[in-house]
Structure 1
Amino acid sequence: MQPQTTASARAYALPSVKFQSIATIIAVVAAVALPQVFHLAGAATGLGTMIGQTLLPMHLPVLLVGLLAGPFAGLATGALAPLASFALTGMPMAPMVPFMVIELASYGLFAGLLRGVRLPVAVPSPLGWLGKLLAAQVAGRLVDALAIAVAVAFLGNTQMTVASVWTAVGTGMPGLVLQWVLVPVVMAVVDRHRD
């Protein structure tokens, strides 16, 4: 006789390969399209193309797919999105592509790994997801800083510095706040529909 699975256990189980694959494709499309929408909006409103660096539109689908579909979907989306975006739009700039791949793949991987972590204390759904999101963001930034440090120290890359990671955090603070609001809300809605 098999034990019954609870809604909580089902929530932490990895979804089917089909779901992960479809989620990855949708997330890659969103991660390529959202920056273009933000750039167009920035140009139309006179805010310029810096709006993309400020609101971090490519990060949102990567983090969400990791939390929704798991580490494989998160990693694949994070790795494929900058490559697809560069191939289709020429953005991000070529020297940034490897670092974007590493950073976004890290975000997606860590978000996916954290999706199934049970918190040691009972917290309301949005706060639990916010904690997981923050952990994924910190881990992704640390991996990005490490990749840049390796590029500077061993590969002689003079276009990047480790300090640029922390500058990017400051520039992207509005985008981080947007993620802190939207991601937990989306995940809390998903949780309600799972129960």
Structure 2
Amino acid sequence: MSKSVSLNKPKLSVGVQVLATLIAIAAAFVLPQLFHYIGRVSGVGKSLGVMFCPMHFPVILVGILAGPFAGAATGLLSPLVNSLITGMPAGLSLPLMMVELFGYGLAAGLLRNVRMDCVFKVFIAQIAGRVLRNIAVIIAIYAFGQKTPMFKIWMDVPGAGIGLAMQLVMIPLIVMLVDRHSEKR
């Protein structure tokens, strides 16, 4: 008897997916603001945002919980909403973040029903978003003549190690809690 490669998670209605997307976009706005505020108050500046990647967390989480539509839409819209309200991200960072977060959300959402440990789902989503961002950076460098050196493509990964590790621990925990709660219903 062969094992099924997918889980039988219920298909979510469009309304639930849209609601999940809106909540995740709100979280992807509030969390970075909280980290920027704590950084200002503590005197460490923007480094907390770089270390913890607070906008990435709700994008990956909503993808795993609600699917590819919610993940991809949250990934595309969160940086745009943040930019329109706060001016950050700005310049070339905005489209690069939109591409990166789209990759996180889409990959996480496509893995929603795949039978695999949630830690691996998060890890694959982290890699997918980073790969898409790097492709976008390479296109910006060569197609649009940007002056970003190639070595900078992966330079922010070590600085984000704490946030990446937290995602690998916290997102699977939250998904497990949500799944348990859903099973009780």
TM-score (norm: length of structure 2):
0.91
- Could you tell which deviates more after superposition, 38-47 or 69-78? 38-47
User: How many positions carry a matched residue from both structures?
Assistant: 177
Q: Percent identity?
A: 44
| SS of residue in 2 equivalent to 1:94 | coil
State the distance in 2 between where 1:162 and 1:17 align: 41
**Residue in structure 2 matched with residue 106 of structure 1 by the alignment:** 103
| SS of residue in 1 equivalent to 2:89 | coil
* Structure 1 counterpart of 2:155, from 150, 167, 170: 167
* Structure 2 counterpart of 1:132, from 121, 144, 160: 121
* Structure 2 counterpart of 1:14, from 11, 14, 23: 11
CA deviations 1:60-79 (Å, max 9, x no partner) are 01000100110001010000
* Structure 2 counterpart of 1:155, from 144, 147, 153: 144
**Residue in structure 2 matched with residue 25 of structure 1 by the alignment:** 22
- Tell me how large the CA RMSD over aligned residues is: 1.2
TM-score (norm: length of structure 1):
0.87
**Residue in structure 2 matched with residue 118 of structure 1 by the alignment:** 115
How far did residue 192 of structure 1 move?
1.2
State the distance in 2 between where 1:102 and 1:34 align: 19
* Structure 1 counterpart of 2:78, from 81, 91, 96: 81
How far did residue 14 of structure 1 move?
3.0
Report if the CA contact (8 A) 1:114-1:132 is conserved. yes
State the distance in 1 between where 2:60 and 2:141 align: 27
**Residue in structure 2 matched with residue 49 of structure 1 by the alignment:** 46
Report if the CA contact (8 A) 1:148-1:161 is conserved. no
* Structure 1 counterpart of 2:175, from 187, 190, 195: 187
State the distance in 1 between where 2:115 and 2:93 align: 35
State the distance in 1 between where 2:149 and 2:171 align: 29
How far did residue 93 of structure 1 move?
2.3
How far did residue 96 of structure 1 move?
0.3
Instruction: Return closer, same or farther for 1:154/1:57 CA change in 2, 3 Å cut-off.
Output: same
CA deviations 1:90-126 (Å, max 9, x no partner) are 111222000000000110000000111123xxxxxxx
What 5-or-longer segments of structure 2 have no aligned partner?
A: 1-6
How far did residue 162 of structure 1 move?
4.0
**Residue in structure 1 matched with residue 3 of structure 2 by the alignment:** none
